[in-house]
Amino acid sequence: MRDFDTICAIATPIGEGGIAIIRVSGENALEIVSKVFRAKSGTDIKNMKSYTMKYGHIYDGDDLIDEVIISYMKGPRSFTAEDVVEINCHGGVVSTNKVLESIIKAGARIAEPGEFTKRAFLNGRIDLSQAEAVMDLIRAKTDLSMKSALMQSSGYLSRHINKLREYMLNVMALVEFAVDFTEDDEEIDPSIPKNVEKSLKSGIEEMEVLLKGADAGKIIREGLSLAIVGKPNVGKSSLLNALLREKRAIVTDIAGTTRDIIEEYINLDGVPVKIIDTAGIRETEDVVEKIGVERSREKLEEADLILLVMDSSREISEDDKEIIEQVKGKKTVLILNKIDLEQKLDEKYIKDFENIIRISAKEEIGLDELKQNIKDLFFSGAIETESLIISNSRHKQALIRALENAEEALVRVQRNEYLDLISIYVMSSLKALNEITGNELEEDLVNKIFGDFCVGK
């Protein structure tokens, strides 16, 4: 375990509540807390046993601050693998901060963002992929994204990566043996290149399986961005309200009612979907509406999926044709709304769209078909367990580099090139795998990763 100073932070959200928790971690955690805590029983907490609790009060000098319960976890069997004391005090901005101030006066310092989890990583209790999963767990918006984070935090990804590392290490061992124990005038044992090829093929197959679900995993983790676009008064806001099952957006017969972007999340069978209701795209002289139209065009470029809404009860207009041109080449579902009314739209203008769903947002007809279509586009209709393993863009990029180097090594083995040259690509593949678990990572990147955490973690 590394030698660190003692840190402290509020581990629960700031605000009014029954209880707030202040976490203290480091070699002197118990000693620092003992300076401000007086047990009701009068006993000295320096002799406190691990995994026990004490009731008492926090003092700042002779001033009573709060009535609290403290718990003690002796390292390395704690979250940070250091001595940890958690103070359960009354919730509230003033009371919680007063307790924190007393701990700082006693000798602790405020933790940096993510420093508790960073210490758990640096002290070897968890690897980097497990550490990153802690923040994913906090930010999870659906049961499925939470399940993905839990799998990662429990070491599910780490076990897969360690298995891949074994394949690469096995190749390196075979190469080292061939280079070190083969005389200059001897031929390499023909079984060695065959075993190298076998290990590389096994590793490549495993990497391909993990990468297959990476895009779906990223969506499960970060959410799917879905922009509802179309000209004014085609039913975009009605569709948003129908999907949310609440009246989130104003719906009127007046064109141009929605002038700004409305963003809301829905749970689509475990997938967090951010639905963006945009202002109707059209030429306008209204200054405010014009700003809204420009923002709509920006969201159209950023979205993972575009829902282009057209009014099937009206003939196609120039505004419709312009928007059709704008969405060309983008992943789009064309929604023909108002099918409960007389149909007037000439479908020759929409024959190039692969995904067309007919709905009535007002009557909530066709919404289930729309949801299934979205799942079909991104998850082939079903979400496999493999999709939950690689959900982090950093992990995906590292795994792609590992695969590319492993494939290059395999090609060179099959060409009967020198094994010691092939080992360069195997080492590069191994290095990329090590970046996922943190076995090999630059300090600046580690600091950046934990800098995105909240202070109390």
Q: What count of Cα atoms within 13 Å lies in the side-chain half-sphere of residue 62?
A: 0
Q: Is 2 annotated as a binding residue?
A: no
C-alpha 367: how far from chain center: 28
Whether residue 125 is annotated as binding a ligand: the answer is yes
Tell me if 84 is assigned to a ligand binding site: no
Residue 114 assigned to a binding site: no
Measured distance CA(128)–CA(118) in Å, rounded: 9
Q: Strand runs (DSSP E) across 320-436, as ranges?
A: 332-337, 356-358
**Cα 447 to Cα 118: distance, rounded to the nearest angstrom:** 8
85 contacts: CB under 8 Å, gap ≥ 6: 23, 24, 25, 29, 30, 33, 70, 71, 72, 73
Packing angle between helix 156-181 and helix 128-139, nearest 10 degrees?
160
- The answer to whether 201 is a known ligand-binding residue is no
Q: CA-to-CA distance for 369 and 105, rounded, in angstroms? A: 61
Instruction: Please tell me whether 234 is known to bind a ligand.
Output: yes
Query: Phi-psi category of 419—alpha, beta or left, where left has phi over 0 and alpha has psi -120 to 50?
Result: alpha
The answer to the question of whether 284 is labelled as a binding residue is no
Q: Is 252 annotated as a binding residue?
A: yes
Ligand-binding annotation for 278, yes or no, is yes
Contact 456, 116 (CB under 8 A): yes
**42 labelled ligand-binding:** no
Is 254 annotated to bind a ligand? Reply is: yes
Tell me whether residue 319 is annotated as binding. no
Strand order in the sheet with 84-90: 37-39, 52-60, 63-73, 84-90, 19-25, 7-10, 109-110
Tell whether 291 is in a known binding site. Answer: no
> Among residues 400, 392, 396, 397, which one has the least CA distance to residue 221?
392
* Chain CA centroid to CA 257, Å: 35
**Nearest Cα residue to 328 out of 300, 361, 363, 362:** 300
> Which residues are bridge partners to 336 per DSSP?
310, 358
- Sequence-distant (6+) residues with CB within 8 A of 64 are 57, 58
**Residue 148 is labelled as binding a ligand:** no
Asked whether residue 258 is marked as a ligand-binding residue, the answer is yes
Query: Are 214 and 392 contacting, i.e. CB atoms less than 8 angstroms apart?
Result: no
User: Is 280 marked within a binding site?
Assistant: yes
Tokens of 141: 């918006």
Is 178 annotated in a binding site? The answer is: no
To the question of whether residue 257 is assigned a binding role by annotation, the answer is yes
Kindly state the tokens that stand for 234. 């085609």
Q: Please say whether the beta carbons of 24 and 6 come within 8 A.
A: yes
Known binding positions: 23, 86, 125, 233-238, 252-258, 277-280, 457
Residue ranges of the annotated binding site for K(+) are 233, 252, 254, 257
Q: Which residues are part of a known binding site for Mg(2+)?
A: 237, 258
Binding-site entries for GTP: 233-238, 252-258, 277-280
Q: Which residues are annotated as a binding site for (6S)-5-formyl-5,6,7,8-tetrahydrofolate?
A: 23, 86, 125, 457
